[in-house]
């Protein structure tokens, strides 16, 4: 009973933190961009030289109904670049709702947390 | 956030004629170039893996079984699967970006990487790299 309550409370807090990131920070949604953000490097570069904005992932969140092969692939990439992965307690419909979107989100990558403290409070469980 | 698509990283090619082959990154172009405005890298990989060598084989047979056939290619990052393995074979002087312009330069580069790969295979190190990926 106590355990169930505790997960609900932390679950809500993750949702709150995600909402704050959506409002104030930078993020990308979707498998392709998550992998792109994991591949890119951290070096400071001149923005005008680039054709696109460089996104550099700091925390990855994966929904619980993500196909296992895709989940393992994202986890492996995250292991290689030492980025935390958080397994969201909900499926892609819930994760989309938590992001405030009307579509399903299976995985997302947080680039800049903005005002949120999600990077400190959600350490990422490998 | 650590960058991992660096030279000497072992990767697996996912698309194209060499899909499923293991390769090593020689040079990476993160920002891309004018012709290829996406992140890509120059890889040198194994086209034909060396066969299994057993103790019973004669020297001539061992030499024949340890042959490696190589390829050199520019591959998009999206078409590679990085691994946690590295292969530190010095290919920077042999495999450069201008090697892919003419056929005979490419053949010469492939021959040189073939020699380097074969001598590395004979020492018995990096055994994972020289085994075929089963799928």
Give the pLDDT of residue A126.
43
Residue contacts between A and B (CB atoms, under 8 Å): 36
Helix (H, G, I), strand (E, B) or coil at A51: coil
Taking the domains of chain B in order of start, what are their residue ranges? 9-128
Are A90 and A115 in contact, with CB atoms under 8 Å apart? no
Give the pLDDT of residue A53.
58
In this predicted structure, the answer to whether residue A45 has a pLDDT above a threshold of 50 is: no
Q: Helices A31-39 and A68-80 meet at what angle, rounded to 10?
A: 20
- CATH number of the domain located at residue range(s) A26-42+49-113 in this protein: 3.30.1330.30
In this predicted structure, the answer to whether residue A7 has a pLDDT above a threshold of 90 is: no
Q: Is the ipTM of this complex over 0.90?
A: no
In this predicted structure, the answer to whether residue A33 has a pLDDT above a threshold of 90 is: yes
The pLDDT-based confidence of B16 (bands split at 50, 70, 90) is: very high
Closest residue on chain A to B32 (Cα): A50
Mutate to test the interface with A, among B1, B6, B32, B33 (most CBs of A within 10 A): B1
Report DSSP state, residue B21.
-
Closest residue on chain A to B83 (Cα): A80
Consecutive H or E run containing B40? strand B40-48
In this predicted structure, the answer to whether residue A37 has a pLDDT above a threshold of 60 is: yes
Q: Which of B1, B30, B81 sits opposite A83 (nearest CB)?
A: B1
C-alpha torsion B10→B75→A106→A28, nearest 10: 110
Averaged over A92-108, what is the pLDDT?
95
pLDDT-above-70 percentage for chain B? 99
Give the pLDDT of residue B1.
61
Which of residues A117 and A72 earns the better pLDDT score? A72
Interchain contact, A56 vs B1, CB within 8 Å: yes
- Round the average pLDDT of chain B to a whole number and report it: 92
Taking the domains of chain A in order of start, what are their residue ranges? 26-42+49-113
In this predicted structure, the answer to whether residue A13 has a pLDDT above a threshold of 60 is: yes
Q: Which of A39, A49, A80 sits opposite B84 (nearest CB)?
A: A80
Distance (Å) from the alpha carbon of A41 to chain B's nearest alpha carbon: 5
Give pTM, 2 decimals: 0.85
Give the pLDDT of residue A121.
82
Considering only CB atoms, which chain A residues are within 8 Å of B8?
none
Query: Angle at the Cα of A81 (from A79 to A85), degrees rounded to 5?
Result: 50
Q: Which of B37, B77, B84 sits opposite A39 (nearest CB)?
A: B77
A71 touches chain B (CB under 8 A): no
Q: Which of A50, A79, A80 sits opposite B31 (nearest CB)?
A: A50
* The CATH number of domain B9-128 is 3.20.20.70: no
């Amino acid at each position: 009973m106590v355990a169930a309550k505790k997960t609900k409370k932390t679950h809500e807090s993750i949702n709150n933190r995600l909402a704050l990131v959506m409002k104030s920070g930078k993020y990308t949604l979707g498998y392709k961009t998550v992998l792109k953000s994991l591949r890119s490097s951290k070096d400071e570069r001149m923005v005008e030289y680039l054709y696109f904005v460089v996104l550099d992932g700091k925390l990855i969140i994966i929904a619980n109904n993500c196909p296992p092969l895709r989940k393992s692939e994202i986890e492996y990439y995250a292991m290689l670049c030492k980025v935390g992965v958080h397994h969201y307690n909900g499926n892609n419909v819930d994760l989309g709702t938590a992001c405030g979107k009307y579509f399903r989100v299976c995985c997302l990558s947080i680039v800049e947390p903005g005002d949120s403290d999600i990077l400190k409070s959600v350490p990422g469980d490998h | 956030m650590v960058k991992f698509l660096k030279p000497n990283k072992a990767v697996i090619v996912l698309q194209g004629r060499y899909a499923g082959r293991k390769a090593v990154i020689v040079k990476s172009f993160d920002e891309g170039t004018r012709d290829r405005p996406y992140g890509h890298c120059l890889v040198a990989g194994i086209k034909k893996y060396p066969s299994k060598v057993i103790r019973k084989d004669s020297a001539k047979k061992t030499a024949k079984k340890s042959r490696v056939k190589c390829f050199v290619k520019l591959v998009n990052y999206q078409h590679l699967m990085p691994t946690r393995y590295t292969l530190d074979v010095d290919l920077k002087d042999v495999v450069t970006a201008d090697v892919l312009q003419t056929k005979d330069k490419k053949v010469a580069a492939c021959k040189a990487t073939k020699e380097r790969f074969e001598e590395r295979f004979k020492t018995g190190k990096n055994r994972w790299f020289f085994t075929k990926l089963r799928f």
